[in-house]
Structure 1
Amino acid sequence: MQKLVINFILLCLPFLSLAQHDFDELYQSNASFRDGVDSNMNTYDLFGNDSIFEITIKSNFKILNRKKDTSKYQKAVIEFAFNDSVDVQRKIGVRARGNFRRENCFYPPLKLDFPKKKVKLEMLKSFDKMKMVGNCKSGSTYDQYLLAEYYVYKMLNIMTDSSFRVRLLKVKYYDTGKKRGNVEFERFAFLIEPTKAMADRLASYIDGDSKFYYGQFPPSNRHMVSIFNYLIGNTDYSILARHNMKTMLPNNTSNFIIPLAIPYDFDYCGIVNPPYAIPADVLPIEDITQRLFRGPCEEFEVYQSTLLKFQAKKAMLYELIQSSSLLSSKSKNHMMGYLDSFYEILDDEKKVKEELTINCN
C-alpha cells in the first residue's frame, strides 16, 4: 500500500499537501520519504495493480449533476491515505462526461483534471486528465453493472495489449454544497488509462482525422475488436466511424500506414445488461443480450487465427469472472452464461460461419 500511495503522490504532485506538511518541504527534509519517491519515480504503473484504490472526492455535486451539459470543470479536492495513516490531498477539476450516461444517469461519469501546466515532472504529463466511470444510479444493483463493465475491460486486456487498462476505485463523495458536509455516498468506480499514456505504451500516437478502410487495419486487430464485441454482445461501436473507438498510428517513419482500433465504453452490451441499454432501431435485434456481428465481411478462413486466440484464452476469461470476490452470484451466473453461449457458437463451425457472414459490414 505504501509503494502505491507514494507513487500516486507523484501523479498529484503540484500543490500537494501531506497532513500539515508541504510535499516539497517533506521531500527536502525527510530522507526516507525522498528515497521512497525517487526509487519508484520511473517504474510506477498506476494501471498495473489490481488492488482497490480508495479515494475521496469533495465537490459541489448538486451543481455538477444539475449542469450535466457543461464542458467546464468545477473545483474539487481528491484525498487518499498515505501509509494508511496520513491524508494526502490535491486540488483538481471535475466535470461530467459521456453522452448517454451524462444525460440519463443520476451520477454522470467524471473527468478528473490534474492541471498539466503545473506538472513539474515530464513523465507525468500524460496523466493531466483521467476518465472515471462511476455508478449510473445508487444501489448495490448498479454496483454490479459497474463491476461487470470493469471486468469487460479486464477481459479485453487478457485478449490483447492494444486495449485501455483500468484501475478499480472505492470512492467516497463529499457534497460541499451541503451545509454539514457529511459523506453523501460511497461507490465503486474505475479509472480508465489516459489515451496518451496508452499510446505511449503502444509506441503509437492518436489519430483523430484520417479516413481509413477495414483493409488498412491489421487482420489481428480488426478481427480481435470485432469478435470481442460480438463476445460481449456489443453493437454500440464502429471501427471506421470511430464510435466508442480510438485510432492509433505507430511511431515510425514507415511509408505504410498501419492503424490500430482501440475500443472502449462497454456498459451498453449484453454481458453487462443494464436496464437502460436497448439496441438501436436500425438493428435486427430486439434485446441487448442478442448477439449481432458488426465486423467486416471477409472469408471465414481469415478469422480462424483470431478465433483460435479466443479458444486459447478461454480458461483465463472464465477464471477472471469465477475468481471475483466482488461480483454477486447473480452477476457471475449471467456473465458466465454469456461466455458459455459464445463458446457454444465457437465450437460449432457451421454456426460461427453464419454469425460472421450474415450481418457483417
Structure 2
Amino acid sequence: MYLVKISFLTCLLISGVISYSQSDTISEIPDTVSIEYFDVFQEVDPIYPEDPLVLFIEMDMKKFYKSKYKDESVPADLTLVLQDSILYTKKIKIKPRGEFRKSHCIFPPIEIKFAKSDTDNIFTEEGNKLKLVTHCKNVSIYEQYVLKEYLCYKMYNLLTDYSFRVRLLEIHYIDKLGKKKPVTKYGFIVESNKSLASRINAYPVKLTGIPLNKTDFDIGNIMAVFQYLIGNPDWVVSALHNVKLYKLINPLKFDPVPVPYDFDYSGMVNTDYAVPDEKLGITSVRQRVYMGYCIPEEDLRKVLDYYIQNKDHFYALVNNCGLLNNFHKNEMLIYMNEFFEVIENPFRVKTDIESTCKRQ
C-alpha cells in the first residue's frame, strides 16, 4: 500500500502539485523514527509557529461538497508526510461540521474519523475523531483567516495549559476521480476533549447554566481578558457556547475550569462574516467589549499585569509567523497595540473594562 501511495505522490511531485526541489524525495519513514512516540502537537518554541505537518486527503470531491447538505460522511484516504517521508496512510471518513460554516463555506471545517479498531493510529490520544479547521473558501484571504485563528489558539497556549493545543497543517486535497484539480491549503488540527481532559487531569462538565463567575477564579478571569484581547464577543459560559468546562481531579480545585475555542468571530481574526450580537451595542467585532465579571481592582490588576508580562511573547508569535502576509500581520499587531494601550493605562482600565464588566 505504501508503494502505491509513494508512486502516486511522486506523480504529484513531477506534475508540480507539490513544490519540492528535485533533490527532495518522499520515501518510507526512516527506521530511526517511531510513530509510537510521534507527538502531533510537538512544540519546540512556543513563540515560533511550528512547521506545518503535510497531509494528503484523497476523496470524491464532488461527493464531499454535497455531503454538507446531507450531513453524511465521505470515505477518504489520509496520508501523513513528515520531513518528506510518508509516516502512514489510513482509510478514514470525513464529515463537514459547524452549523454556520457548513452553510457559509464551500469547504467547511471537517471531522476526520478513524476506525475504532485502528490500534496503530498516531492520533489515538485524540480518540477516533479529529477536528480540522479548513480554509472555508478558495480565496486567499480565507487562508489568512485560518492562520490568524490558529495564532489566537497559540496565544492562549502561552497563558495557560488549560487550553486547546493546535497543529498547523499543509493539506493537499486530491479528487479520487481526477475530475477536479488538486487544492493545497493551510488548516489546523484542534486537540480533542479527551486529550485535553487527560492532559490536565480532569473530566468534562456538560452541564449548562454555570456562569463565568462560578468557574475557577484565576482561569476564568484570564479567559475573559483573553476574549477582550482578541475582541471575541461570540462566547457564553452558561450556555457552553464556544467554551468547554472541565472539573479538575484535584480535590482542592472545586470550581470547573473554562476552556475557550472557535475564534473566527473575533476582531483579531476579522473575518468578513463576523457580525456581533446587537445586544452588545457594537457594530463591528473590531470594537472591543469586556464580557467578564467585575472583580476587585487588585485582582484585575494582577490579571492585566500577567498579560503585560507576556506582551513580547504575543508580538513575537505573530511576527514569527512567516505564512501570514504583511497586511494581516500588521492588522493583528495594530489590534494588539490597542489592547495594551488600554490595560497599561489605569484610566482606560476604568472606562473600558471596569465600567462595562458584569456585576456579580
- TM tier, shorter chain? 0.7 to 0.9
Instruction: Identify the residue that residue 222 of structure 1 maps to in structure 2.
Output: 220
Would you say how many aligned residue pairs link Structure 1 and Structure 2?
Answer: 329
TM-superposed deviation, 1:83: 6.0
Which residue does 2:317 correspond to in 1?
Answer: 320
Q: CA deviation at 1:82?
A: 6.0
Deviation larger for 60-69 or 48-57: 60-69
Query: Does 2:210 correspond to 1:212?
Result: yes
Whole-Å Cα distance in 1 between the matches of residues 227 and 84 of structure 2? 40
Residue 299 of structure 1 and its aligned partner are, at CA, apart by: 3.0
Contact map agreement 2:134 2:187 (CA 8 A) in 1: yes
Task: Check the 8 A contact 2:212/2:292 in 1, yes or no.
Answer: no
Q: Which moved more, 1:114-123 or 1:136-145?
A: 114-123
Find the partner of 2:328 among 328, 331, 337.
331
Contact 2:125–2:194, Cα closer than 8 Å, also in 1: no
* Counterpart for residue 47 of structure 2: none
2:12 paired with 1:18: no
Segment of structure 1 superposing worse, 281-290 or 56-65: 56-65
Does residue 48 (structure 1) correspond to residue 39 (structure 2)? The answer is no
Distance 1:295 1:87, change over 3 A: closer
Q: Which residue does 1:162 correspond to in 2?
A: 162
Distance 2:299 2:83 in 1: 52
Q: Equivalent residue for 1:104? A: 104
Deviates more, 1:99-108 or 1:221-230: 99-108
1:187 aligns with 185
Partner Cα separation in structure 1 for residue 344 and residue 122 of structure 2: 49
Deviation of the 1:355 alpha carbon? 2.1
Q: After superposition, what is the alpha-carbon deviation per residue over 1:208-232, rounded to whole angstroms, capped at 9, x for unaligned?
A: 1264243432221111110000000
The residue that corresponds to 1:142 in the other structure is 142
Secondary structure at 2:132's aligned position in 1?
Answer: strand
Are 2:280 and 1:283 aligned?
yes
Q: Is the 1:18–1:87 Cα contact (8 Å) retained in structure 2? A: no
1:354 paired to 2:351: yes
**Secondary structure of residue in 2 paired with 1:249:** strand
Q: Any gaps of 5 or more consecutive residues in structure 1? A: 1-16, 22-29
The residue number in structure 1 matching 2:22 is none
Distance 1:91 1:300 in 2: 55
The within-5 A match list for 1:66-77 is 66-77=66-77
Asked whether the equivalents of residues 61 and 180 of structure 2 are also in contact (C-alpha less than 8 Å), the reply is: no
2:201 is matched with: 203
Give the counterpart letter for 2:299 in structure 1. V
Structure 2 distance, partners of 1:191, 1:121, is 15
How far 1:300 sits from its partner (Å)? 2.7
Shift of 1:79: 1.3
Answer yes or no: is the 8 Å Cα contact 1:267–1:274 preserved in 2: yes
- Residue 262 of structure 2 corresponds to which residue in structure 1? 265
* AA aligned opposite 2:189: L
TM-score by length of 2: 0.84
Give the structure 2 partner of residue 236 of structure 1: 234
Structure-2 change in CA distance of 1:294 and 1:69 (3 Å): farther
Deviation of 1:305 (Å): 1.3
Separation in 2, partners of 1:307, 1:82: 40
Instruction: Determine what percentage of the aligned residue pairs are the same residue.
Output: 30
SS at match of 1:118: coil
Pick closer, same or farther for the CA change 1:69–1:306 going to 2, 3 Å.
farther
Aligned to 2:15: none
Residue ranges of structure 2 left out of the alignment (5+ in a row): 6-27, 44-49
- Residue 244 of structure 1 aligns with an amino acid whose one-letter code is N
RMSD of aligned alpha carbons:
2.4
In 1: Cα distance, 2:165 partner to 2:308 partner:
22
Which residue, 290, 294, 302 being the options, matches 1:293? 290
Range with greater deviation from structure 2 (80-89 or 159-168): 80-89
Aligned amino acid, residue 175 of structure 1? D
